[in-house]
Amino acid sequence: MNFFEHQDRARRNTRYLIVLLIAAVFSLVAITTLLFATLAYFGDEHRNEITQTTWQGILHTLSPSAFLWIAVGVSGVVMLGSLFRFAQLRGGGKSVAEAMGGRLLAGNTQDADERKILNVVEEMAIASGTAVPPVYLIEEESINAFAAGYHPQDAVIGITRGCIQSLSRDELQGVIAHEFSHVFHGDMRINMRLISLLYGILVIGLIGEFLIRIAGNRSASRSNSKDNSPAAMLALGAGLLVIGYTGIFFGNLIKSAVSRQREFLADASAVQFTRNPEGIAGALKKIGGNSYGSELKNEHAAEFSHMYFGQGVKSFFNLMATHPPLEDRIKRIQPNWNGEFSESVYIRRKTSEVSEADAGIKEELLEVVSAFDGNVVTKSINEAAPQTSIDIEQTLAQIAQPTQGQIGYARARLSEIPESLKIAARESFSARAIIFGLLLDRHAPAAQYQLELLSEHLPEAEFQQLRPLISSASSQHAGLRLPLLELCLSALKQLSADQQHGFLECINALINADKKISLMEWALYRVVLHNNYQAPPRERTHSLQHQQTECAILLSILAHAGSTNLVDAQHAFARAQTELKFTIELLPKEQIQLADLDKALDKLNRVKPLQKPQLLKAMSQCVLQDNRVTIAEAELFRAIADSLDCPVPPLILATG
């Protein structure tokens, strides 16, 4: 199952989940109606004895209008409770991490354990072609982790101290790859919705608890024995408490059933990602051999139980467990496992050792197409043998499932980035300087004018503080520019609303300094905007065939961008046309505005997941029309794919 099939499955699972929860609410309505009918029946002073017609009397106690009011009341309580929890979690993954007591890891941390996990997450993100998510550390000794958020743009990784300290780097890589699978495949969004919906059901039980407390207080303060209101309130509270927790019981059954299957799939994806079964299997074995296991002590642990890497709360029945047994998970990865767990050993390295280990693979091991520049880095496929080209089919299959070559690419690029820039990219204040540097013109006079404009938008002291970083970022070679951008995106999310507004003003000033916007400037701006300031589409149900105008705009601009004359552009567009099941026409270059492209991408992002590969293949034909791919073309392709929520990994030359 590839990335697009996973996305489509997640969309369908969301519908099934809503249907199941609606069924649960109907069940609660029926049980609540029965409760009120029973209380009304026995509360009638003319019915003091139980007769053979008691249950008939109970069923006839409430009128249809009363049943309707109960249904509206229960549904309203569940809906309001769900909306309340949704509002609390509107911050996305950050809200969950903070509720679990997580602390955002600072980019300039000197703690070796914290540096280790940051390096692993950065490596996996860059290999995947996606923004580096914020990492939150939970100070617990158990081995566990989670990914939380409504969409990749607000995703965070949470991880326990015990996980970092107990696992080797390969094992940590397996755990993080497992969590990235949840991010890419839509599991994370379902998890967040489950939290809100189940909380709505729990509210009924919380109301019952409140009524019981009120009844107890009234009973203690009232001396009038004829006042039966405390007893009635106590009975009602107890009934609502039972109903609420009955709903939670069935809700947890749904949650557990969905979660267990997705854990198996995420384990398999982690093995595909890392190509190292020993990594994730070793992590699972250490959970079994660790005295703390994967259990979390936080008061909110049960609410988020379906989100963890390992079983985060005790389950007395296998039916209620949110995760499959460790033994089953390990045997699926290693069928010949001998059944022995590994002892959890505290692994700690000095900071210098961490840096050396993360230096990665030498650049000559890879030929990579990356970042924003116009240099040709591939040969014509007719020039030499063996032939070299980019296999777009293979690249699309690698979305959310990068190869070892792409992980090697990420290691190589990270090892080349100066340490000062890596630290700066992890802090919101200094990350802005890197983006400014990436937007500087390569020609000195133009760059100097841009810096003068920037100094007018920033306080003098702040500008002088950022200027060395701006200069350093602008001087990095082309292969480091996109990884630098991906490193910065996490820190930029931490800017306040006023800081974000000022940051965007500065970006616009740099881009408009020469009174025109290049495609590369637009691409960088689009990635920043998409990952930090734009909400994702609520639904992806549009048909690609109904977006013919948008397809024409997108493919026309790509065809013109990769061609030096109209004939080449027409040829590129014709190749792209062969991938579509409908006919569109090449638009004149002068008629296309980047604002039109922005609107087109917003609509195309709402296309059904299984139809997006068709669009990406058409885009690739524009890029490959002359059998050569420039770095600029490759990264423009990746930037547009990012706007379509398709994280294309680094494009690596295929030989064959």
Q: 48 near 22, Cβ under 8 Å?
A: no
Nearest one of 640, 426, 623 to 527, comparing CA atoms = 640
Q: C-alpha angle with apex 121: 488 to 299, nearest 5 degrees?
A: 105
Give percent of the chain with pLDDT exceeding 70.
78
Nearest one of 482, 478, 502 to 492, comparing CA atoms = 502
- Region 33-57: mean pLDDT is 59
Nearest one of 265, 94, 264, 92 to 192, comparing CA atoms = 92
Q: Is the pLDDT of residue 545 over 80?
A: yes
Q: Could you write out the DSSP letters of every residue in 121-175?
A: HHHHHHHHTSPPPPEEEE--SS--EEEE-SSGGG-EEEEEHHHHHHS-HHHHHHH
pLDDT, residue 652, reads 62
Q: 177 near 274, Cβ under 8 Å?
A: yes
Is the peptide bond between 386 and the residue preceding it cis, with omega within 30 degrees of 0? yes
Q: Is the pLDDT of residue 265 over 50?
A: yes
Q: C-alpha angle with apex 483: 366 to 446, nearest 5 degrees?
A: 110
Nearest one of 254, 417, 371, 378 to 320, comparing CA atoms = 254
179 catalytic, yes or no? yes
Contacts of residue 279, defined as CB under 8 A and 6 or more positions apart, other chains included, come to: 170, 171, 173, 174, 177, 270
- Region 453-472: mean pLDDT is 93
Residue 585 CA to residue 575 CA, distance in Å, equals 12
Stretch (H or E) spanning 369? strand 368-369
pLDDT tens by residue, 187-234: 888 888 888 877 887 777 777 777 777 776 666 665 555 555 667 677
The overall average pLDDT reported for the chain is: 79
Tokens of 374: 């116009």
Helical packing angle, 612-623 and 631-643, nearest 10°? 160
Stretch (H or E) spanning 652? strand 651-652
Residues facing residue 157 across a β-bridge: 135, 147
Q: Is the pLDDT of residue 584 over 70?
A: yes
Of the ranges 13-17, 138-142, 270-274, the best mean pLDDT one: 138-142
Contacts of residue 16, defined as CB under 8 A and 6 or more positions apart, other chains included, come to: none
Grouping H, G, I as helix, E, B as strand and the rest as coil, residue 265 is helix
Burial of 441 (0-12, 13-18, 19+ CB in 10 A): middle
pLDDT tens by residue, 498-543: 999 999 999 999 998 888 778 888 888 888 988 887 666 667 778 8
Q: Is the pLDDT of residue 349 over 60?
A: no
Grouping H, G, I as helix, E, B as strand and the rest as coil, residue 651 is strand
pTM of the model: 0.80
Q: 271 near 181, Cβ under 8 Å?
A: no
Catalytic residue among 114, 122, 140, 179: 179
Give percent of the chain with pLDDT exceeding 90.
29
Residue count of the chain: 656
Q: Is the pLDDT of residue 266 over 60?
A: yes
More confident residue, 59 or 655: 59
- Region 336-364: mean pLDDT is 57
Residue 198 CA to residue 302 CA, distance in Å, equals 12
The yes or no reply on domain 94-177+286-333 and CATH 3.40.50.300 is no
Q: Is the pLDDT of residue 436 over 90?
A: yes
Q: Cα–Cα distances in Å, from 106 out to 114, 234, 361, 373, 428? A: 9, 50, 26, 31, 10
Nearest one of 160, 151, 360, 146 to 259, comparing CA atoms = 146
Q: Is the pLDDT of residue 345 over 80?
A: no
Q: 183 near 140, Cβ under 8 Å?
A: no
Nearest one of 500, 502, 506 to 438, comparing CA atoms = 506
Nearest one of 76, 122, 211, 163 to 219, comparing CA atoms = 211
Burial of 336 (0-12, 13-18, 19+ CB in 10 A): exposed
Residue 608 CA to residue 544 CA, distance in Å, equals 8
Location of structure tokens 């709402």: 606
Residue 594: count other Cβ atoms within 10 Å of its Cβ.
Answer: 15
Q: Is the pLDDT of residue 421 over 90?
A: yes
pLDDT, residue 221, reads 60
- Region 138-160: mean pLDDT is 93
More confident residue, 181 or 651: 181
pLDDT, residue 110, reads 85
Phi, psi at residue 542, to the nearest 5°? -75, 150
Q: Is the pLDDT of residue 103 over 60?
A: yes
More confident residue, 375 or 119: 119
- Region 331-337: mean pLDDT is 91
Residue 357: count other Cβ atoms within 10 Å of its Cβ.
Answer: 13
pLDDT, residue 386, reads 32
Of the ranges 29-33, 65-69, 144-148, 324-328, the best mean pLDDT one: 144-148
Range from 223-237, 288-302, 374-388, 531-545 carrying the lowest mean pLDDT: 374-388
Q: Cα–Cα distances in Å, from 572 out to 350, 416, 567, 578? A: 53, 35, 9, 10
Q: Is the pLDDT of residue 125 over 80?
A: yes
Range from 129-133, 325-329, 366-370 carrying the lowest mean pLDDT: 366-370
